[in-house]
């Protein structure tokens, strides 16, 4: 497999400090696989020269953003992890309706290219149409390139086939020459924002649902605790936290499907 190069060490330090992502020394094969194309696109003579420029403290913002986008994982699907959505459908949304709520505020953190917030919008529309129109979904990610894709709402045939059945595709998408695009009525219900989970600034406040799934596994224990505290600070007293199936919250009691009930003060 060969040995990791100094360039890979620079990438690891950059990603750790920039967004908390821990890359292994044995993942050095990603240097050429993911950053090689960027080096060519930005007309650098080598991937090492690209890294030296992009990952330096004085690197151009466009280069630094490109590295973050290339080195973060954007693997996601519509309605990913059925138990998670089943708990939302059968227990959590009905709880808000039973409490007489007219709307809820949701933060979909580390949303990647947007399949999760769009899944949320579709579920709310079907289960609680009167609440869906008044509710707010805030979708954030560290990659503004991924967010732009989410904001555009255009997905390939392969992407819509992963998690979506024909009825939802017909109801919520319009077919275009090379993609299926989410209809405007659904797109305008989502607010897209760049956010670094390790930012010292607070995230969206007063959220009834906060979802951050399959991300904490890439952080070390220290940063994982920081992120969970930040997420917890965004949840209302009656709200819920949602994590990935392999992740655990240190700030709440398990509800099922990756959902947690934060401590009620």
List domains and CATH numbers for the chain. 6-71 (1.10.155), 82-261 (3.40.50.150)
- Cα dist from 19 to 68, 80, 149, 204, whole Å: 8, 24, 20, 18
Q: For the segment 63-112, what is each residue's pLDDT rounded down to a tens digit?
A: 998 998 888 877 789 999 999 999 999 999 999 999 999 999 999 999 99
Indicate left, alpha or beta for 203 from its phi (over 0: left) and psi (-120 to 50: alpha): beta
Q: How far apart are CA 90 and CA 42, in angstroms?
A: 49
Spatial contact of 142 and 195, defined as CB atoms under 8 Å apart: yes
Q: Which two structure tokens, joined as six digits, stand for 163?
A: 């998690």
Q: How far apart are CA 46 and CA 36, in angstroms?
A: 8
Note the pTM of the prediction, 2 decimals: 0.85
Q: How far apart are CA 252 and CA 238, in angstroms?
A: 12
Q: For the segment 129-181, what is each residue's pLDDT rounded down to a tens digit?
A: 999 999 999 999 999 889 999 999 999 999 999 999 999 999 999 999 999 99
């Amino acid at each position: 497999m060969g040995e990791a190069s100094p360039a890979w060490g620079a990438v690891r330090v950059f990603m750790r400090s920039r967004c908390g992502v821990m890359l292994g020394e044995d993942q050095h094969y990603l240097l050429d696989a993911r950053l090689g194309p960027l080096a060519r696109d930005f007309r650098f003579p080598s991937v090492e020269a690209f890294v030296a420029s992009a990952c330096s403290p004085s690197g151009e913002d466009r280069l630094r953003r490109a590295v973050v986008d290339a080195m973060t994982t954007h693997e996601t699907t519509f309605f990913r992890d059925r138990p998670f959505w089943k708990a939302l459908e059968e227990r959590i949304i009905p709880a808000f309706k039973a409490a007489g709520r007219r709307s809820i505020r949701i933060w979909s953190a580390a949303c990647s290219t947007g399949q999760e917030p769009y899944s949320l919008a579709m579920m709310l529309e079907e289960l609680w149409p009167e609440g869906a129109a008044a509710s707010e979904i805030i979708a954030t990610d560290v990659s503004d390139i991924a967010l732009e894709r989410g904001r555009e709402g255009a997905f390939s045939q392969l992407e819509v086939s992963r998690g979506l059945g024909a009825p939802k595709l017909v109801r919520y998408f319009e077919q275009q020459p090379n993609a299926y695009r989410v209809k405007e009525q659904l797109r305008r219900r989502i607010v897209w924002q760049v956010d670094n989970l390790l930012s010292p600034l607070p995230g969206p406040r007063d959220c009834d649902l906060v979802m951050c799934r399959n991300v904490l596994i890439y952080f070390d224990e220290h940063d994982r605790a920081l992120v969970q505290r930040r997420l917890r600070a965004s949840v209302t007293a009656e709200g819920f936290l949602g994590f990935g199936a392999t992740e655990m919250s240190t700030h709440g009691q398990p509800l099922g499907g990756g959902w947690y009930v934060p401590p009620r003060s």
